[in-house]
Amino acid sequence: MLELFRQFALELKASGINLTILYDAFDFERFVSGLATTCALVVLCTFFSILIGAAGATVLGLSRGPAAMLVCAYVALIRNTPLLVQMYFFYFAVGSLMPVGQNAIGLPVPMIGNFTWAVIALSLYAGAFNVETFRSGIGAVHGSYEEAALALGYSRFKAFRYVVAPLGLRFSFASLANNLVDLTKATTVAYAIGVAELLYVSNQIWSDSLNTFEMMNVMLAIYLLLTGIVVWIIGRAQRAMRLPGFGVN
């Protein structure tokens, strides 16, 4: 099967379409490695950004004190500064304050690598938007549900945890899907700090093979596929958690 792809790619090359990732083993390995790194970024950042969003929305839903003010300040800071600036800040500014280790030959090596900084920056970035998404979903839950839970003897925290938050999550799915699609596309910014994700390795490939047009089209198809998978997963989760008669599709 692989040999058929290779022969097909060579025939395309003869016709002027140079897809080296299909017939050159080195380019293929680089491309697969970059795709795997992008997928790892998407999965890790999605997980942590949802945790951050849920934690922030919980604080805003239960507190009006300093903790809520800190969450509001974090959201305002992240949403009103460019992602690239945030990425540079964490990698170059905060990273320069982190301890440095040594490799096998005694050269200095940062204890926190560029991939980890990319996960941190992207998670905090998407997390700020998820805070607002979950907060809006919680705000859409009618106050009578919380009042009913309190009347049944629930504490305010338990009413939030078992009644308000689960319903608010169901209201949040549409906006959450948009946030996670944006996050998937934003992983390309990790290129700026040297993370060998899909854009980074594709740039290397088209620089070596002079096939910019072909690689750009491949990248377009890959990112369309990735965002489509994200939307499909969110849609499946939304349907699985649907409450008949509640009014959330």
Domains of the chain, by residue range, sit at: 52-217
Looking at residue 11, what is its pLDDT?
58
Contact 118/40 with Cβ under 8 angstroms? no
Band (3; pLDDT cuts 50, 70, 90): low
Q: What is the pLDDT of residue 132?
A: 94
CB of 197 within 8 A of CB of 41? yes
Q: What residues contact residue 246 under an 8 Å CB cut-off, 6+ apart?
A: 167, 170
Please report, as a single letter, which amino acid is at residue 238: Q
Query: Residue 209's closest CA among 34, 38, 13, 15?
Result: 13
Quick one: angle between helices 198-209 and 212-240, nearest 10?
Answer: 160
How many Å from the N-terminal Cα to the C-terminal Cα in the chain? Answer: 43
CB atoms within 10 A of CB 78: 19
Could you tell me whether strands 108-110 and 100-102 are parallel, antiparallel, or unpaired per DSSP bridges?
A: antiparallel
Mean pLDDT of the chain: 88
Helix axes 114-139, 25-62, angle to 10 degrees: 40
pLDDT category at 106 given cuts 50, 70, 90 is: confident
pLDDT tens digits, 124-183: 999 999 999 999 998 888 888 888 888 988 888 888 888 888 888 888 988 999 999 999
Cα-Cα-Cα-Cα torsion 170, 239, 41, 111, nearest 10 degrees, comes to: 50
pTM score of the predicted model:
0.89
Pick the CATH number of 52-217 from 3.10.20.600, 1.10.287.130, 3.30.1280.10, 1.10.3720.10: 1.10.3720.10
